[in-house]
């Protein structure tokens, strides 16, 4: 996981956001670990340079996700704001001509982490999985938990379980999600204010988003 991400909770130490941000970081780490296991065991991969999901989709996010993303952008990655395309129909942080198309990849929201590499819960409360329709050379049908274990020896993480955990981190805004481009401005202002109170400056980052890990697991 990107080392800049790990530093976010400590930047806001002593504020009311330190624990919720730490909680979200912990959830993001668990997602990474569970997906790593799933990706290694299964044949499901995004085709190279696909990004179809970001072209047409703008995530609606919880306040804590917006604050996490804002912390990363404000403190560590201000250069990425040049990739912000407010008039884009899909996600404002999608740069189709970038080497890696998500320009906020290390701090991307929960849904972006989980989409295509997580399952949902069926009637029996067991986990089901259906690959993204843009994945190639795989069957596009829903597989139940028994079949997943039989075929791959493991199951993907359950999207709803992790989303519920994240929703509990800031009780005052629980259950409220807002489109990313609407959530970011106030989150950035709040983070700038708190970082300033905590004595942090806001360096112009020379960090290049293309230096980060690729946004989607690649076809092997
Ligand atoms: S999840 Fe992967 S395969 Fe599906 S549209 Fe997004 S990048 Fe393409
Ligand atoms: S935040 Fe990144 S991964 Fe999520 S929709 Fe936007 S460009 Fe895609």
Site of tokens 């780490």:
29
Question: What tens digit of pLDDT does each residue of 127-136 get?
Answer: 999 999 999 9
- Atom 3 in ligand 1: residue holding the nearest Cα: 46
Encoded tokens for 100: 């890696």
Q: Is 100 in the pocket of ligand 1 (CB under 6 A)?
A: no
Atom number in ligand 1 closest to CA 117: 1
Scored b (16 or more CB within 10 A) or e, 82-120 reads ebebeebebbbbbbeebebbbbbbbbbbbbbbbbbbbbe
Ligand 2 atom 4 nearest Cα = 112
| CA atoms in the 13 A half-sphere facing the CB of 100 | 18
Closest CA to 69 of 31, 30, 25, 101: 25
Residues 10-45 have pLDDT tens digits of 889 999 999 999 999 999 999 999 999 999 999 999
Residue 119 — very low, low, confident or very high, per pLDDT cuts 50/70/90? very high
The residue whose CB lies within 8 Å of the most ligand 1 atoms, and thus the one to mutate among 135, 138, 214, 217, is 135
pTM listed for this prediction = 0.88
Q: Which ligand is nearest to the CA of 215?
A: 2
CA–centroid distance for 41 within its chain: 22
Tell me, in angstroms, the distance from the centre of ligand 1 to residue 115's CA.
8
């Amino acid at each position: 996981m990107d080392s800049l991400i790990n530093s976010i909770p400590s930047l806001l130490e002593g504020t009311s956001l330190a624990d919720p941000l730490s909680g979200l970081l912990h959830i993001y780490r668990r997602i990474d670990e569970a997906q790593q296991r799933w990706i290694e065991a299964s044949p499901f991969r995004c085709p190279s340079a696909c990004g179809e999901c970001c072209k047409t989709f703008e995530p609606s996010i919880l306040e804590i996700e917006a604050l996490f993303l804002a912390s990363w952008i404000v403190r560590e990655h201000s250069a990425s704001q040049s990739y912000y395309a407010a008039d884009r129909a899909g996600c404002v942080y999608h740069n189709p001509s970038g080497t890696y198309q998500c320009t906020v990849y290390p701090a991307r929201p929960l849904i972006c982490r989980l989409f295509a590499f997580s399952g949902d819960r069926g009637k029996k409360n067991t986990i089901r999985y259906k690959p993204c329709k843009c994945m190639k050379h795989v069957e596009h049908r829903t597989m139940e938990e028994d079949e997943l274990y039989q075929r791959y020896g493991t199951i993907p993480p359950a999207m709803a379980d992790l989303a519920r955990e994240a929703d509990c981190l800031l009780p005052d805004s629980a259950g409220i999600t807002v489109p990313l481009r609407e959530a970011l401005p106030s989150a950035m202002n709040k983070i700038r204010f708190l970082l300033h109170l905590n004595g942090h400056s806001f360096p112009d980052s020379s960090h290049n988003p293309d230096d980060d890990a690729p946004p989607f697991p690649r076809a092997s």
